[in-house]
Amino acid sequence: MWPTPCPPGSRCGEDLRAVGLLPGRPGPDQADRVVVVLLTAFGIVLLGTVAQAVSGFGYALVTVPLLAAAVDPRSAVVVSALTGIGSTLITAVRERAFARWRVALAVTATALLGLPAGLLVLAYAPERLLSAVIAGVVLGCVALVWSDARIRTGRVGLGAIGVLVGALTAATGTNGPPLVAAFHSLGYDPRTFRATIAATFAGTGLMGLAGFAATGQLHADVLRTALVALPAVPLGWWLGNRLFHRLDPVLFRRLVLVGLLGSAGVALAGLAG
Q: How confident is the model at residue 26, as a pLDDT?
A: 44
pLDDT tens sequence across 19-57: 444 444 445 567 778 888 899 999 999 988 888 777 767
* pTM value > 0.75: yes
Reply yes or no on whether the pLDDT at 13 is more than 60.
no
Q: How confident is the model at residue 29, as a pLDDT?
A: 65
258 contact partners, CB below 8 Å, separation of at least 6: none
pLDDT tens sequence across 205-249: 999 999 999 999 998 889 999 999 999 998 998 888 787 777 676
Neighbours of 8 (CB within 10 A): 7
pLDDT tens sequence across 176-188: 878 877 887 788 8
Reply yes or no on whether the pLDDT at 127 is more than 50.
yes
What do you get for the CA distance between the two ends of the chain, in Å? 20
Reply yes or no on whether the pLDDT at 267 is more than 70.
no
User: Hey, where are the domains in the chain?
Assistant: 12-272
Among residues 268, 260, 271, 198, the alpha carbon closest in space to that of 58 is found at 260
